Amino acid sequence: MDSIATTAAAAFESQSAGVAARRQEFGLTERRAALARLAAAIRHNEAPLVTALAADFGKPEAEVILTELLPVMQEIRHASRHLRRWMRPRRVAPTLATLGTSARIRPEPRGVCLIIAPWNYPFSLALGPLVSALAAGNSAIIKPSEMTPATSALIAKLVQETFPPSLVTVIEGGVDASQALLELPFDHIFFTGSPAVGKVVMAAASRTLASVTLELGGKSPTIIGPDADLENAAKWIVFGKFANAGQTCIAPDHVFVHRAVKDGFLAVLRNRIAKAYGTAGTSPHLARIVNDRHAQRLSDLLQDAVGKGAQVTMDSPSQGRDLGPTLIEALTPEMDISSEEIFGPILPIIAYDNIDEVIDQINARPKPLALYVFAKARPQIDRIIAATSSGSVGVNLTVAQFTHTGLPFGGVNTSGIGAAHGEYGFRAFSHERAVLTNHFSALPLVFPPYTARVKRLIGLIKRFLG
Ligand code: NAD
């Protein structure tokens, strides 16, 4: 075995050895204490976190606090407050066939879990799932993204100073580390990343039949109806699209705007962009593209679209990995940008006349992670929601659905399997074990031998229940 495989196997063995003991000893008090330790460590590391994310991709401090630190702290607080209720076995009423028994559902830890994180929110998407894993009583190995090395090193240090490796440990590295870990028989794999790698993870999980949560991506459409509040739409779209320089899984990927309000919307959108980021292209309020490869990918996407007839209607001076907000129009299906997840600060604007065209276009593509609707007429909003599918929906806002700890966060098919956050995250990392206890069940009356009397009884039951 090479060294990364040996390290991965040793980390896994150390956690596996404690599974049976953890089932009995890692109760409500211990889990809450673990979460409190994590919260204290995060508070203590706020300044290094801001520095690490600035080094990795120029993420503004305000965005680090809003989108990396606060989501994890919020998850910790919510889990600590509700954990007692989540952990409590739930009673289930008996059915006619099981009269004389009592039924309960016991949420139990899955065991040893693997968390593979992406680079775009490298801190919150590694430690957010850890909160759920610990709340549910598991141990976890975290594999942060290699593309944000400063944040990866910080996560490793923070975890090492906070938890014994038999409970939580970090294995740093790239695809080789990820693949070495995927060889091991984890009880649950929680993966956040691209749909392409999601398939690799699911294939690996099929070898051991590990359960999976896949938090994937895709092209999240945004629809602006003829009656939308355009100022409000521009405000939310600019934040949702350009925060993190567009490198957000639930960012509006492209905008369908009703032709009657297109010019008005473009005018307020341009104003809003100028107000938020200025007109110099680079801005201290705008993160950078994560690396040269992704900057090149975005430039290629734009060149391909322009070469095939797209018009750039708002361009910002860009420099290396500093890409400014860019608006493009006149898209056609042949352009790569029409099918690839953009994941950068380029926003296609597509005019429509009839909402049915938009619904058809959305339904012709893989189910997106998020769908946004800006409109006032409730029937119109409801119709769009009912006619389409997506992981989540934002009405008259963008991305804020991620911050609601009471809502499941996840995709559907290509955009993901399973859900995260709050109780949904706790459940993702729990096995719901059914326990049925006999008190005075009458079922033995129909056990063999199947005499005439038993058969008559079965006939009676069939008439009653069938
Ligand atoms: P990615 O799939 O390239 O990488 C994610 C993780 O998988 C990394 O840790 C990486 O080291 C590992 N990995 C990469 N290739 C691998 C392979 N062949 N085998 C095993 N492991 C491998 O994703 P990314 O570029 O880091 O993140 C961007 C993608 O993630 C986008 O598609 C985005 O929409 C999606 N995303 C989804 C969510 C969500 O919550 N649904 C959140 C953030 C990002």
The model's confidence at residue 315, banded by pLDDT at 50, 70 and 90, is confident
Q: How far apart are CA 32 and CA 84, in angstroms?
A: 10
How far apart, in Å, are the Cα atoms of 142 and each of 120, 171, 191, 290, 305? 16, 6, 10, 21, 38
Q: Which of 124, 145, 220 to mutate to test the pocket of ligand 1 (most atoms within 8 A of CB)?
A: 145
Contact between 287 and 58 (Cβ < 8 Å)? yes
Q: Residues in the chain, how many?
A: 466
Ligand 1: atom nearest CA of 391 is 41
Nearest to 423 by CA among 121, 80, 186, 126: 80
- Interval 425-466: pLDDT, tens: 999 999 999 999 999 999 999 999 999 999 999 999 999 887
Q: How far apart are CA 218 and CA 213, in angstroms?
A: 16
Backbone φ and ψ for 373, nearest 5 degrees, come out as: -125, 125
AA identity, residue 100? G
Between the CA of 312 and the centroid of ligand 1 the distance, in Å, is 29
Contact between 255 and 224 (Cβ < 8 Å)? yes
**Contacts with 429 (C-beta within 8 Å, 6 or more apart), sequence order:** 109, 110, 113, 129, 132, 133, 135, 136, 138, 188, 190
Which residue lies with its CA nearest to atom 39 of ligand 1?
215
Between the CA of 158 and the centroid of ligand 1 the distance, in Å, is 22
Up-side HSE of residue 220: CA atoms within 13 Å toward CB? 31
How do 168-170 and 220-224 pair as beta strands? Answer: unpaired
- Interval 127-141: pLDDT, tens: 999 999 999 999 999
Between the CA of 197 and the centroid of ligand 1 the distance, in Å, is 6
Ligand 1: atom nearest CA of 410 is 41
Between the CA of 39 and the centroid of ligand 1 the distance, in Å, is 25
Decide if pLDDT at 229 tops 80: yes
Ordered by where they begin, the domains of the chain are 3-216+415-433 (3.40.605.10), 221-410 (3.40.309.10)
Strand pairing partners for 214?
A: 191, 417
Q: Which of 125, 194, 212 to mutate to test the pocket of ligand 1 (most atoms within 8 A of CB)?
A: 194
The answer to whether 249 is a known catalytic residue is: yes
- Interval 41-94: pLDDT, tens: 999 999 999 999 999 999 999 999 999 999 999 999 999 999 999 999 999 999
The model's confidence at residue 1, banded by pLDDT at 50, 70 and 90, is low
pLDDT (0 to 100) of residue 466? 78
Q: Which residues line ligand 1 (CB under 6 A)?
A: 116-121, 125, 143, 145-146, 174-175, 178-179, 192-194, 197, 200, 215-217, 249, 341, 343, 369, 411, 416
Active-site residue, selected from the candidate residues 68, 249, 341, 423: 249
Q: How far apart are CA 234 and CA 262, in angstroms?
A: 12
pLDDT (0 to 100) of residue 281? 63
Active-site residue, selected from the candidate residues 215, 329, 357, 432: 215
Which residue lies with its CA nearest to atom 32 of ligand 1?
194
Ligand 1: atom nearest CA of 197 is 2
Between the CA of 98 and the centroid of ligand 1 the distance, in Å, is 46
Between the CA of 349 and the centroid of ligand 1 the distance, in Å, is 27
- Interval 96-148: pLDDT, tens: 889 999 999 999 999 999 999 999 999 999 999 999 999 999 999 999 999 99
Q: Which of 123, 197, 212, 390 to mutate to test the pocket of ligand 1 (most atoms within 8 A of CB)?
A: 197
